């Protein structure tokens, strides 16, 4: 999978997270897609991102700012800051590093692991 295609998938994912409209990203996921949230909660399946948003996500009105993006053989890494509104209404900014693992055969996103670094 070309780096430009990976970047399109990554951008689509972050757009989905910021708008909470996962319809476009859902088509890019492998059938057994695995999502590991920053707290370690794991979801499997094409609805994994939706379930994360509904069950675990604590920030609303988010904006993801990617500061570094790197590609390995079968994974890409996006590091940056996500800002949004916390459960109590406070503005929060948190550092993250998301690891995107791709299925090179069918071009889908096979897994996503989120690492959080509270600033």
CATH number for the domain that contains residue 48: 3.10.450.50
Residue 104: pLDDT above 90? Answer: no
pTM over 0.85: yes
> Rounded to whole angstroms, what are the CA distances from 54 to 48, 58, 84, 86?
10, 9, 16, 15
**DSSP β-ladder status, 91-103 and 108-118:** antiparallel
Domain count, the chain: 1
Give me the mean pLDDT over the 83-103 stretch: 95
Reply yes or no on whether the pLDDT at 59 is more than 60. yes
Contact criterion met (CB below 8 Å) for 35 and 103: no
Range of the domain at 79: 3-118
pLDDT at site 119: 55
pLDDT, mean over the chain: 94
Helix (H) or strand (E) holding 74: none
Residue 110 CA, chain-centre distance (Å), reads: 12
**How far, in Å, are 4, 6, 46, 68, 97 from residue 71 at the CA level?**
10, 9, 24, 10, 13
Find the distance separating the first CA and the last CA of the chain, reported in whole Å. 33
% of the chain surpassing 70 pLDDT: 99
Instruction: Over range 88-111, report the average pLDDT.
Output: 94
* Pair 61, 84: CB distance under 8 Å: yes
Spatial distance between the Cα atoms of 18 and 69, rounded to a whole number of angstroms: 18
For tokens 């370690």, the residue is 40
């Amino acid at each position: 999978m070309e780096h430009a295609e990976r970047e399109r998938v990554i951008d689509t994912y972050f757009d989905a997270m910021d708008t909470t409209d996962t319809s476009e990203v859902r088509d890019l996921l492998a059938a057994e897609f695995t999502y590991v949230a920053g707290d370690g909660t794991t979801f499997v399946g094409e609805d994994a991102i939706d379930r994360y948003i509904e069950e675990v996500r604590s920030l609303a009105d988010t904006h993801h700012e990617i500061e570094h993006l790197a590609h390995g053989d079968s994974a890409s890494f996006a590091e940056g800051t996500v800002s949004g509104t916390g459960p109590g209404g406070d503005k929060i900014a948190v550092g993250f590093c998301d690891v995107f693992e791709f299925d090179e055969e069918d071009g889908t996103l096979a897994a996503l692991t989120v690492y959080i670094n509270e600033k």
